[in-house]
């Protein structure tokens, strides 16, 4: 009985690791690779990302999505909206002067003004207020939801 159970569990574990492997096998896009170079996980941007313009001297960037986009962010299921164009200034481990990402919390929309990455954690800045989340929650690019999706 115990061995059967153990057998079943090990099969389930194999299935889980197999499915997560095939997720990871998707090759990163150029934009995702650039995010990773700067120490950020690819899941910060939705999969509908189209183009990145980056001035490597000043760090000024803009990201074009296929359209405005709505996403539910892990792990607390905050609703977030992404404008069709997101801009800011990026250096390794830090995005500042961010414009174009808003999060709904405490019955209000808040603009995320900056994001810091310390490897294991991401710190989101909303003005003077910060919120810290494990980076591993952002390992995959989320898909846009609902009628805001592609186009």
Site residues (vs ligand NAG, CB under 6 A):
55, 57-58
Pairing of strands 94-105, 78-91: antiparallel
Smallest separation, CB 126 to ligand NAG (Å): 27
Is residue 121 within 8 Å of 134, Cβ to Cβ? yes
Smallest separation, CB 66 to ligand NAG (Å): 24
Pick the closer one to ligand NAG by CB: 64 or 140.
64
Q: What is the dihedral sign for C-alpha 138, 139, 143, 148?
A: positive
Smallest separation, CB 141 to ligand NAG (Å): 27
Pick the closer one to ligand NAG by CB: 63 or 73.
63
Pick the closer one to ligand NAG by CB: 58 or 150.
58
Smallest separation, CB 30 to ligand NAG (Å): 18
Is residue 104 within 8 Å of 111, Cβ to Cβ? no
131: preceding bond cis by omega (within 30 degrees): no
Q: How far, in Å, CA of 151 to CA of 66, rounded? A: 6
Pick the closer one to ligand NAG by CB: 58 or 121.
58
């Amino acid at each position: 009985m115990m061995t059967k159970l153990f057998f079943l569990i090990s099969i389930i574990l194999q299935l889980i690791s197999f499915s997560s492997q095939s997720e990871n096998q998707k090759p990163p896009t150029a934009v995702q690779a650039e995010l990773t170079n700067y120490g950020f996980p690819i899941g910060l941007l939705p999969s509908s990302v189209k183009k990145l313009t980056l001035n490597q001297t000043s760090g000024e960037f803009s990201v074009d999505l296929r359209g405005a986009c709505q996403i539910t962010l892990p792990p607390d299921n905050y609703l977030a909206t992404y404008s069709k164009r997101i801009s800011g200034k990026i250096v390794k481990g830090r995005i500042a002067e961010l414009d174009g990402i808003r999060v709904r919390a405490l019955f209000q929309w808040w603009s995320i003004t900056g994001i810091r990455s310390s490897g294991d954690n991401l710190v989101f800045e909303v003005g003077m207020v910060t919120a810290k989340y494990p980076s591993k929650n952002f390992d995959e690019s989320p898909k846009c939801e609902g009628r805001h999706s592609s186009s």
